[in-house]
Amino acid sequence: MTPPDDQRLLEIRNLKVQFALEEGTVRAVDGMSLVVNRGQTVGVVGESGCGKSVTAQALLRIVPKPGEIVDGELLYYRPTGSDGENLHVTDLVGLPANGDEMRDIRGNEIVMVFQEPMSSLAPVYTIGHQIMEAIELHQQVDRKEARERTLEILQRVGMPQPTQTIDSFPHQMSGGMRQRGMIAIALSCNPTLLIADEPTTALDVTTQGQILELMQKLQNDFGMAIMFITHDLGVVAKMTEYVTVMYLGKVVESADVDTIFHNPKHPYTKALLRSMPRMGVKSRRLEAVTGMVPDPFHVPPGCPFHPRCEDYIAGRCDAEEPPWIETEPGHGVRCVLYE
Amino acid sequence: MSSTNNPSDAVSDRSAQETPLLEVKGLRKYYPIRRGFLSRTKGFVKAVDGVDLTIQRGETLGLVGESGCGKSTTGRCLLRAVDATEGQVRYWMSDESGWTDIYALEGQDLRRFRRFAQMIFQDPFSSLNPRMTLLQIVGEPLTVNRLASGEELEHRVADLLRRVGLRPEYMKRYPHAFSGGQRQRIGIARSLALEPNFIVCDEPVSALDVSIQAQTLNLLQDLQEEFHLTYLFVAHDLNVVAHIADRVAVMYVGKMVELAESDDLFASPLHPYTEVLMSSVLPPDPRIKTRQIEMTGEVANPADPPSGCYFHPRCRYAEERCWQETPELREIRPNHFVSCHRAEEITLEGVL
């Protein structure tokens, strides 16, 4: 294995996750590649069914049955030693999902914040209990110290009245407070990578803004990388540095955020951006993407986007898999138009 | 559809216009809180707490606000889908019948109103009965009202499906075979079955993917033109509302805080809460840097709202008067209503 670039934190190489169902095999993730550097914020964008959430589940090795990682590598450049000076490259795919090493990484070094804070917090335990559980599980501290650290983390995530909230149950808290609680659990162990799966979709706009600003601040403080999984292009524009666009399990385009929004190459990326209603742009009609996302059992041959594509070339796009083309360093697109 | 962009034109247009389609006065909806062994009423959740509003024929009125502000309940009260606690909702259903107070309607007249006003729901997954075929779902309003049956019914349903961009051959299928966007079209077809004049669209696109959202918004606009529909468009996404609405009303804890022409509202809001809402819109462009105005505290509890202006504990412009006196909705600029004591003194930032 090549010696790791010292900025590199995670490298997804040609990941494939499949679900063998009675109706057929769903290729939920079909050759996904992505590099995340230390402290970087990466956006994974796409519509429902594009495989963005399954990618996150694969990273944590919590893909639900009958889903299975069938191919690819998940290279995690793991800091080792007391000061984290040395790097050790671990392929997460090779680890037993419930083995000691994976359990050590999951929830400790790679953590996740989910979309629905109500259903991802346990309703019968106080928020304090749930944060302390994470701390006690991963760090050698006693009860008293765990509680102190919990209070400290609640303060850092801006929880109102932390000394009282620590003993509150999730149902006693507002949506914004619950999401702060989720983030507190995730950050309790100083992770290297935070995966945020639509973390603000269920929240009101003003609360969304507060949570996003909190995440930016915490990233500055803690220096972790964030993988932002979302369909909201406004959130992507505000939060991320590098963006990967997915469609039906495949990466169709990857570039830095400015390029994705101002110089997109893939017809799907372009169409998505055009279809957004924008303030101040008064037009009678939106330029909608025609058709709909095909069902996962009948993925079209060739480029999966070809039935909805404006630049579709008959005989090519529906026949051959488009290659991955680097149009410039750091900007890749999966489309025959750029050959 | 009032398509004037110049506010001064809009004024002269409006005065020349016919009577509005609908007029709401002092609308209140209180839900009792019952506790204890005898379930005595211990208080009220004031979901809608005094809303006044008119909706013009053929316009789209956007109704925005955060969850729990009473925007959906307001929409439902306008249809008498829930009964208001207090207030008046009048429709100008036709020139022959003049004003109709829907809370005074009974029997045949109420059924006639049900055909006049319809609703499109947010969640296309839970709002369609999974055991009914499209023919049954879309045709149900026609069957229930004994307007069509047999071949005639199939004919009308086929026509409705075509109008919303679905194939009539799908008529015998069940909802599970359709995607979210298609299901929303099914819901729209059903709401059109009785040829209504007025439709309350309750977050019609918020459960849909971006690419499907645009198709659905276009469809709603096409249908509006074709059938001369009037919409109340309840939504929380300001990008969507700015696109589709002619006028926009902003609600906060059961009260209407601002009402104006869409362009005017987004360019120069008059209520501090509207200003905060607008500052939290995220433009889909990394080159536009926005900063959300900080707002302290949580949304007020509608069972125990603060004194004076409900927004004062979170308002950065609040002064003594704001927690002592309740502000009234006033017309400060032509067609621009706001309920804020300080509206004339403060200058707020819009997003346009």
What is the DSSP annotation of B247-295? EEEEEETTEEEEEEEHHHHHHS--SHHHHHHHHT---S-TTS---PPP-
| pTM for this model (two decimals) | 0.87
Q: Tell me, what's the pLDDT at A117?
A: 67
Q: What is the pLDDT along chain A (339 residues), one digit of tens a residue?
A: 444 457 899 999 999 999 998 888 899 999 999 999 999 999 999 988 889 999 999 999 999 989 999 999 999 998 776 666 677 899 999 999 999 999 889 988 999 988 776 778 888 999 999 999 888 888 888 889 999 999 988 988 888 888 888 999 988 888 888 888 888 888 888 899 999 998 888 778 888 888 898 889 889 888 899 999 998 999 999 999 999 999 999 999 999 999 999 999 999 999 999 998 888 776 778 888 888 788 888 889 999 999 999 999 999 999 999 999 999 999 999 999 998
Which chain B residues touch A257 with a CB distance below 8 Å? 286
Q: Tell me, what's the pLDDT at A238?
A: 93
Please identify among residues 172-211 of chain A the ones whose CB lies closer than 8 Å to any CB of chain B. 174-176, 204-210
Which chain A residues touch B62 with a CB distance below 8 Å? none
Indicate which of B205, B208, B243 best probes the interface with A, i.e. most A CBs within 10 Å of its own CB: B243
Say whether A213 and B292 touch across the interface (CB within 8 A). yes
The minimum CA-CA distance between B60 and chain A, rounded to whole Å, is 13
The reply to whether A291 falls in a domain is yes
Indicate which of B4, B251, B285, B316 best probes the interface with A, i.e. most A CBs within 10 Å of its own CB: B285
Say whether B210 and A275 touch across the interface (CB within 8 A). yes
Question: Nearest by CB to A206, which of B181, B244, B277?
Answer: B277
The reply to whether A6 falls in a domain is no
- Distance, in Å, from the CA atom of B343 to the CA atom of B332, rounded to the nearest integer, reads 8
Say whether A279 and B292 touch across the interface (CB within 8 A). no
Spatial neighbors of B45 by CB under 8 A, at least 6 apart, are: B30, B31, B33, B302, B303
Total domain count for chain A? Answer: 1
Assess whether pLDDT exceeds 70 at residue B2. Answer: no
Assess whether pLDDT exceeds 50 at residue B84. Answer: yes
Which chain A residues touch B292 with a CB distance below 8 Å? 206, 209-210, 213
What is the SS3 assignment for A311?
Answer: coil
The reply to whether A114 falls in a domain is no
The reply to whether A250 falls in a domain is no
Q: Tell me, what's the pLDDT at B9?
A: 43
Question: Nearest by CB to B211, which of A206, A235, A271?
Answer: A271
Which chain A residues touch B211 with a CB distance below 8 Å? 47, 271-272, 275, 288-289, 292-293
Say whether A206 and B217 touch across the interface (CB within 8 A). no
Q: Shortest CA distance to A7 belongs to which of A37, A40, A34?
A: A37
Using a CB–CB cutoff of 8 Å, tell me whether B176 touches chain A.
Answer: no
Please answer whether residues A107 and A136 qualify as being in contact, where contact means their C-beta atoms are separated by less than 8 angstroms.
no
Using a CB–CB cutoff of 8 Å, tell me whether A314 touches chain B.
Answer: no
Least confident of A278-292, B84-98, B152-166, B276-290: A278-292
The reply to whether A299 falls in a domain is yes
Using a CB–CB cutoff of 8 Å, tell me whether A310 touches chain B.
Answer: no
Print the domain residue range for A326.
Answer: 263-338
Say whether B214 and A289 touch across the interface (CB within 8 A). yes
Using a CB–CB cutoff of 8 Å, tell me whether A213 touches chain B.
Answer: yes
In chain A, which residue's Cα lies nearest the Cα of B222? A285
Q: Tell me, what's the pLDDT at B5?
A: 45
Say whether B210 and A48 touch across the interface (CB within 8 A). no
Tell me the residue ranges of DSSP E strands in chain A. 8-21, 24-37, 41-45, 67-80, 86-91, 110-113, 193-197, 225-230, 242-247, 250-256, 324-328, 331-334
Say whether A293 and B298 touch across the interface (CB within 8 A). no
In chain A, which residue's Cα lies nearest the Cα of B290? A238
Say whether A279 and B299 touch across the interface (CB within 8 A). no
CA distances from B244 to A322, B40, B183, B238, B352 (A): 37, 45, 21, 10, 15
Please answer whether residues B128 and B186 qualify as being in contact, where contact means their C-beta atoms are separated by less than 8 angstroms.
yes
Say whether A206 and B276 touch across the interface (CB within 8 A). yes
Using a CB–CB cutoff of 8 Å, tell me whether A288 touches chain B.
Answer: yes
Average pLDDT over residues B155-177: 91
Assess whether pLDDT exceeds 70 at residue B58. Answer: yes
The reply to whether A258 falls in a domain is no
Cβ contacts from A onto B, under 8 A: 127
Please identify among residues 245-274 of chain B the ones whose CB lies closer than 8 Å to any CB of chain A. 263, 266
The minimum CA-CA distance between B77 and chain A, rounded to whole Å, is 23
Work out the number of other CB atoms within 10 angstroms of the CB of residue A63. 21
Q: Tell me, what's the pLDDT at A59?
A: 94
- Distance, in Å, from the CA atom of A330 to the CA atom of B33, rounded to the nearest integer, reads 58
Which chain B residues touch A261 with a CB distance below 8 Å? 284-287
Please answer whether residues B260 and B275 qualify as being in contact, where contact means their C-beta atoms are separated by less than 8 angstroms.
no
The reply to whether A194 falls in a domain is no
The minimum CA-CA distance between B62 and chain A, rounded to whole Å, is 14
What is the SS3 assignment for B89?
Answer: strand
Q: Tell me, what's the pLDDT at B17?
A: 53
Question: Nearest by CB to B209, which of A204, A213, A231?
Answer: A231
All structural domains of chain B, each given as residue ranges with its CATH number in brackets, are: 3-283+300-338 (3.40.50.300)
Using a CB–CB cutoff of 8 Å, tell me whether A285 touches chain B.
Answer: yes
In chain A, which residue's Cα lies nearest the Cα of B242? A279
Say whether A232 and B282 touch across the interface (CB within 8 A). yes
The reply to whether A158 falls in a domain is no
